[in-house]
Amino acid sequence: MAENIDLTQRDIFKFWTHDTFRFADLDALNHLNNISSAIYCETGRADFFVRVLNHDFSSKVNWVIANLNITYRLPVDYPNDILIGTKIGKIGNSSVIIHQGLFTKDVCFSTAETVLVKADLKTGKSVPFSDDMKEKLSAYL
């Protein structure tokens, strides 16, 4: 997980996505199930890529997850609103580390670190970032 960065603090995030805790997200204890946290992270990442990078997910050059780490910190009860904070942790040549915090009622219930690679889906090879993409990503470091 991110070194020297407290992902439970709302003020480190510049980019926010809103989602809703759906009834289908309940586990046997009537709390948010762990798979839903991964889905909220995906929602935040997709929103980030569309709004910041104007990404087209039907493209043959797309994002592939190389690693996903989620820390489950607190249970969340239904119903609730979810806020997903997203920031860039590190920018490589063709990969990026994304840090996220999942919040409800100003309390962080999960944090995540995802390594994503920009890849050509036809060849399976990584694709280097353009200078423009690096600049856009850098705004969220």
Tokens of 114: 């995802």
Q: For residue 4, tell me if it sits in a domain.
A: no
Which band of pLDDT confidence, cut at 50, 70 and 90, is reported for residue 4? Answer: confident
Is 76 inside any structural domain? yes
CATH (domain of 45): 3.10.129.10
Domain that holds residue 89: 10-138
CB 53 within 8 A of CB 86: no
Instruction: State the average pLDDT for the chain.
Output: 95
How many domains is the chain built from?
A: 1
Quote the strand ranges of 21-139, DSSP E.
61-72, 81-91, 95-104, 107-120, 125-126
In a domain, 34, yes or no: yes
105 domain residue, yes or no: yes
> Residue 2: inside a domain, yes or no?
no
pLDDT at position 139: 97
Q: Give the mean model confidence (pLDDT) for residues 109-136.
A: 97
Note whether residue 5 is domain-resident. Answer: no
Residue 24 lies in a domain: yes
Give the pLDDT confidence score for residue 66 in this predicted structure. 97
- Positive or negative torsion for Cα 46, 2, 74, 10: negative
Q: What is the pLDDT of residues 16-44, one digit of tens each?
A: 999 999 999 998 888 899 899 999 999 99
Band (pLDDT 50/70/90 cuts) for residue 3 is low
Q: What is the pLDDT of residues 74-104, one digit of tens each?
A: 999 889 999 999 999 999 999 999 999 999 9
Report which secondary-structure segment, H or E, holds 137.
helix 131-138
- Is the residue at 30 inside a domain? yes
Instruction: Please give the model's pTM, rounded to 2 decimal places.
Output: 0.93
